[in-house]
Copies of this chain bind each other. A is one copy, B any other.
């Protein structure tokens, strides 16, 4: 009855991929090992054979995605550019990250950190590392302020503004698509326009 489409040279990877897709779509609590197996077309026991526990499987994916995000942000270094140009590139980089990887990534990470205190604890040090690595940016902001090119503001506020405006349409993806009754392509187009709008808003928010 059930047929294999692919010669399963690497079922472990297929399970990981199916799990990733389901976890991104529904989160930890609403996804079961049975569903993951069904999607792959294999037995549910195999999910545990390769990953031992559901928690373990989820954690593998979550940590990988979260580190990918944090490290991509961390790796941003354009210190020789004018401040506005730098901010503008950072915004574009963040949009690009979600578009090229997965549009559901922002909500996936947010949800797990908000709803699972244990996971939040386990990711704290990685998140604080990002905070520290952004000291350069913070110094830069202070310098711009001191020299009168940027209005007085805290680095925290700027970070909140950028991150939330940039993740807004990704986080609310299912709502936006349904409410505006648009296709995935139209949604992507909307997001790209929004990137420009965010740059506009954020640069304006910086000016003295």
Contacts and interface: CB of A to CB of B under 8 A. Distances in A.
Nearest to A116: B30
A26 B29 CA distance: 10
A60 interface: no
Contact of A194 (B30, B117, B160, B171): B160
A4 interface: no
A161 B153 contact: no
A110 B171 contact: yes
Interface of A, secondary structure class, is: helix
Given A161-B165, A173-B114, A178-B120, A197 B29 contact: no
Interface in A5-53: 26-27, 29-30
Nearest to A27: B115
A207 interface: yes
Report, nearest first, the 9 A-B pairs whose CB atoms are least far apart: A29-B29, A164-B168, A201-B205, A204-B204, A29-B30, A157-B197, A113-B175, A114-B174, A120-B178
A78 interface: no
A117 B174 CA distance: 8
Contacts of A165: 161, 164-165
Interface string A174-193: 11001100000000000000
A174 B121 CA distance: 11
